[in-house]
Amino acid sequence: MQDGNGTNEKLALERENIDRIDAQILKLFGERMETVDRIRAIKARDGRPVRDAAREEKLIETLIGKAPEGILPEEVRALFSEILHLSRERQERNNAKEQKTE
């Protein structure tokens, strides 16, 4: 619906920005998960558990402190809690695969 002020074009441009940003986030998430795989291998070799709750909490608190203005602490916590959850699931899944092949 066009309102004469170019609203549709502005909306389309902003959505293009979101799409570009989402692609960047996905690329960085992929890099993070590759790093998680390397960390998992080190932990498995050393007999360390997947989860380090103290490190996770410290990381989240650090990231809250680094968040740009306008990003709420609970938004940072929710985002990184989910990323950490996915990272742990991946490590556990890969540990299970590795144990099956032994």
Per-residue pLDDT at 52: 96
CATH of the domain at 69: 1.20.59.10
- Whether residue 92 is contained in a domain is answered as yes
| Contact predicate 61/81, CB 8 Å | no
- Whether residue 2 is contained in a domain is answered as no
Instruction: State how many domains the chain has.
Output: 1
Greatest pairwise CA separation for the chain in angstroms: 67
Averages of pLDDT over runs of 10 residues in the chain (102 residues) are: 76 98 98 98 96 98 98 98 98 92 76
| Contact predicate 40/50, CB 8 Å | yes
Per-residue pLDDT at 99: 85
| Contact predicate 82/28, CB 8 Å | no
Q: What pTM does this model have?
A: 0.88
Q: List % helix, strand, coil for the chain (3-state, nearest 5).
A: 80, 0, 20
Per-residue pLDDT at 100: 85
- Whether residue 90 is contained in a domain is answered as yes
Determine the structural domain holding residue 43 and report its residue range: 7-101
Per-residue pLDDT at 38: 98
Q: Which of 48, 31, 33, 34 is nearest to 86 (CA)?
A: 33
- Whether residue 1 is contained in a domain is answered as no
Per-residue pLDDT at 4: 63
